[in-house]
Chains A and B, each alone.
Chain A
């Protein structure tokens, strides 16, 4: 028996029992579709997250108080004085700009309109470091910062909610936590990111925020953003920051009480998280593939029993064990291969629909179904068919011709 013949015979036999073959395939279809969809969505999520992190800027360093990997006692907060020290260009030649930030949740009102949003206390350098642009008005300047001026920049989402528009707002007065602030600028839209909308934000001078909106002890800041002089200088800048802060916090020996993240660190962390997420989902999906495989084994066993006489006859006519084995293995592999192909199409559709739903919910991301996922699904499903076909096929091949012919 050659290869083409066995496939044709297997197709005929599967075709003779359409409903049963279809139901058996269904198990594999669901399994493969789940695997493909989950891998696609996972990969898409990973791409979106890493892209949006990469979009932050490659020169950027983040400094947070506390150590995220080791336990440190008496963690000292980051303060304005730390910020000033980091701005010393002699001590830290690789640092281009330093921008501290504190943030909190506030309610902003204009007339009857009311919106809950994030307020960020910032310095003029923030625009440079975080790459913010105003579409109208101007960014916060040093006089406003020194004078603790009651001025605010509105994110486009906030402007839209309060005023119903994003232009012609400069000069209006809004109330933040009941206190009047003059709007001096509207921020350019940054679009939705993976961390929620970056447009739903209000910015005020950090001094104003400390004095009036956010209670913080001793000039503490939440985060310090550092811009290195170039992408190549990021490691150098990170080293300088660490040196200065260790000196200031007197933690030269032992663990640091601050953490420096580069954009690269974020990307790799995000990749790890989404990778685990993808493996988890893929694993759940693989279980359904396993169940589908058991379904195939079940049906093949029934089929062997039903066709005992046929097997006996084939053996009487000269079929060797190998011939019978191949016949049944071909059937089970074809079942799972078809299931795999249909499953890939379904999985792609599911991923596509999930992408559409995500887009409709303002978190656009594109599910990515790579050739590797398709190959994996095809190979895996055929392997499932082969594996679960081995036992029934072997049983068929080992039937005694005399017994099989006598079987009623």
Chain B
């Protein structure tokens, strides 16, 4: 097997709503290689978001195994998961999710605060903003930035801790087509330049077409098991 940064074995998630059990994911097994760009597609209700939450270590699977960058995270507790998210996962959300009152610099610095980084925080944040082409906007608040610029700040924030994977959830969903394309180009260039593993969750086939591989989900199962 190649160098898997993500490996899931029989990953299952069951939500209990009252007395009804909803099987959001039913035994999903796949592998994502280091340095790969993968998109996850599927109609709504297919378990796409659930899979993303599990891969991003935001939630616990009901059963199954999930190995992220060599660490088995399926049975970790909340605080351990928080540490994993901090060090190994970078998130880019559809709605940017920046702190509205904090400057771009402070937003990018935020993960470093939680990783217990004591020195060089601002220096590293500045470099990260520089790498997404926003070095002249470091003291601007999110409200003073365009959508595309806000998403760049979010990408800089996601990369600050040099994560094993970058999870992008509909990264261009809230953007016009021009800045959407710019953001996609930026994300893909990250992969080319520094070999970051990238997982894009989307239902836009054009976006999916730009990735190396597409994982399709239907009713909580992989459409084409590998």
Interface residues of A (CB under 8 A from B): 1-2, 5, 12-13, 16, 309-310, 313-323, 400-402, 405
Contacts and interface: CB of A to CB of B under 8 A. Distances in A.
Contacts of B157: 317
Given A16-B101, A401-B58, A405-B58, A317 B79 contact: no
22 contacts: A12-B101, A13-B101, A310-B99, A313-B97, A314-B110, A315-B58, A315-B82, A316-B58, A316-B85, A316-B91, A318-B82, A318-B83, A318-B86, A318-B87, A318-B111, A319-B114, A320-B78, A321-B79, A323-B114, A400-B59, A402-B53, A405-B97
Given A318-B161, A319-B114, A323-B114, 13 more contacts: A310-B99, A313-B97, A314-B110, A314-B114, A317-B111, A318-B83, A318-B86, A318-B114, A320-B79, A320-B114, A321-B79, A321-B82, A405-B97
Given A5-B113, A313-B99, A405-B97, A318 B85 contact: yes
Contacts of B210: none
Nearest to A5: B113
Given A1-B113, A16-B101, A320 B82 contact: yes
Contacts of B86: 317-318
A321 to B, nearest CB: 6
Contact of A319 (B53, B82, B97, B101): B82
A405 B97 CA distance: 9
A405 B93 contact: yes
Nearest to B85: A318
B114 A1 contact: yes
Give chain A's interface secondary structure class: helix
Contacts of A1: 113-114
A316 B101 contact: no
Contact of B115 (A2, A318, A322, A401): A318
Interface string B85-122: 11100010100010101100000001101110010000
B97 A309 contact: yes
Given A5-B113, A12-B101, A402-B58, A317 B83 contact: no
A71 B101 CA distance: 75
Interface in B49-99: 53, 56, 58-59, 78-79, 82-83, 85-87, 91, 93, 97, 99
Given A1-B113, A322-B79, A317 B85 contact: yes
Contacts of B97: 309, 313, 316, 405
Given A322-B79, A402-B58, A317 B101 contact: no
